[in-house]
Amino acid sequence: MKIIEVTDTNDFAIKSVEFFEKFVTHNSNSLITLPTGNTPLPFYEKMLGAYKKNNKINKFIYLSLDEYYGLEPDDHRLFANWLDREILTPIGVSPSNRITINSACNDVEKFCQKFEGQIESKGGIDLAIIGIGGNGHIGFNEPGSDLNSPTHKVELTQETITSNAEYWGSEDAVPKSAITIGIGTLKKAKNTLLLVRGANKAEIFKATLSNEISSAVPSTYLQEQNNLTIIADKEAMKLL
Ligand code: F6R
């Protein structure tokens, strides 16, 4: 495990883009998950600038990490649409280089199996870029999730619904269920980059690194993760 401590938001963005650019340069067409949420926004903003200098930064395949369940393809709340607006279209990742979760699928089990098959056919996840929820969720693997599960449907916890309300203005606008890549699949990622930012993540970041590994805090699986890099700011690291 390598922890890169950054001083402020700008430093966070610079270090994240440096890591990403180096990775895609050395591993062309790799399968990469990108998180939504507030944490990665400075990283994506900085990536737009990097793309102007290096237009090969888009040579990767985007893989959905998680997605709300039950939304139509044009819904602005879909994480795939959020990332499309924020980063994928601005840097020119073509739709054919995106493997997304079908929020509107009727047969969830069948869809999840197909999605896992798509990951396997690409040789697995090359780089899982993830954030962390205040309750220790990774993707939408909420506390209590099986740490060996593949992609599956989940019911969101009240804590997650409350925190996601910040994105969409009210809790009513937050879907109550989701499909997420499971921890079992994330554990098999060849490389992982965890992004952590802000004082409100200090407690969960400490628990992630020091609690016993258990589904009570899903992010604790990271303690045993191979090739894990963490980019964290001073605020998030203040309890370590
Ligand atoms: C989103 C995701 C979530 C977020 C987490 C942190 O795609 O996978 O696990 O990374 O909820 O969200 P922020 O960054 O808004 O604190």
b/e map 23-39, b = 16+ CB within 10 Å:
bbeebeebbbbbbbbeb
Nearest C-alpha to atom 15 of ligand 1 is from which residue?
37
Answer yes or no: is the C-beta of 197 below 6 A from any ligand 1 atom: no
Answer yes or no: is the C-beta of 131 below 6 A from any ligand 1 atom: yes
- 209-233 pLDDT tens trace: 999 999 999 999 999 999 999 999 9
Rounded distance from Cα 238 to ligand 1 centre (Å): 20
- 33-72 pLDDT tens trace: 999 999 999 999 999 999 999 999 999 999 999 999 999 9
Rounded distance from Cα 40 to ligand 1 centre (Å): 9
Rounded distance from Cα 53 to ligand 1 centre (Å): 28
Q: Which residues contact 169 (CB under 8 A, 6 or more apart)?
A: none
* Cβ atoms 12, 231 nearer than 8 A: yes
Query: How large is the average pLDDT for residues 76-105?
Result: 98
Q: Which atom of ligand 1 is nearest to the CA of 131?
A: 10
pTM score, two decimals?
0.98
Nearest C-alpha to atom 9 of ligand 1 is from which residue?
139
Catalogue the active-site residues. 66, 135, 137, 142
Sheet with strand 60-63: strands edge to edge: 2-6, 228-233, 192-196, 127-130, 30-33, 60-63, 98-99
Pairing type for strands 152-155 and 228-233 reads unpaired
Rounded distance from Cα 68 to ligand 1 centre (Å): 12
Nearest C-alpha to atom 1 of ligand 1 is from which residue?
36
